[in-house]
């Protein structure tokens, strides 16, 4: 089984996030596909980040992180938003997030 870091664009930090989601090898990530694998990351507490999702999608295609064509961004963003929305709200990770939720800039956790 190949380590997650053998997927282009994914380094030790993402491998650690995948380990928290009980995904320990590149083959499992490939079998799940980008959307399901990222959903598992979010379920395990990974903070949603569009660039991390982009790195995963492009990496599974064997493409570099900077290979994203501008025309690909809107549909990729829609996929990311759907995954993030399905995961539901997360706890504010910082005091700044909590303050922004308090004044209505960010949604409050239900």
Looking at the structure of the chain, the number of domains it has is: 1
CATH number for the domain that contains residue 44: 1.10.150.20
Residue 109 lies in a domain: no
Q: What is the spatial distance between Cα 13 and Cα 84, in angstroms, rounded to a whole number?
A: 20
Buried b (16+ CB within 10 A) or exposed e, 38-60: bbbbbeeebebeeebbbbbbbbb
Residue 107 lies in a domain: no
94 pLDDT more than 80: no
Residue 53 lies in a domain: yes
106 pLDDT more than 60: yes
DSSP 3-state assignment of 45? coil
* Per-residue model confidence (pLDDT) at position 19: 96
Residue 110 lies in a domain: no
The residue range of the domain holding 59 is 4-102
Which token pair is 48? 């949603």
Among 20-29, 39-48, 93-102, the range scoring the smallest mean pLDDT is: 93-102
């Amino acid at each position: 089984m190949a380590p997650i870091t053998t997927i282009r664009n994914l380094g030790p930090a993402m491998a650690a996030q995948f380990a928290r989601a009980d995904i320990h090898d590149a083959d499992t990530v490939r079998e799940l596909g980008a959307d399901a694998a990222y959903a598992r990351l979010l379920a395990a507490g990974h903070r949603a980040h569009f660039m991390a999702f982009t790195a995963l999608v492009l990496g599974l295609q064997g493409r570099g992180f900077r290979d994203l064509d501008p025309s690909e961004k809107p549909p990729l963003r829609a996929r990311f938003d759907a995954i993030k929305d399905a995961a539901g709200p997360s706890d504010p990770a910082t005091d700044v997030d909590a303050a922004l939720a308090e004044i209505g800039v960010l949604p409050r956790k239900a």
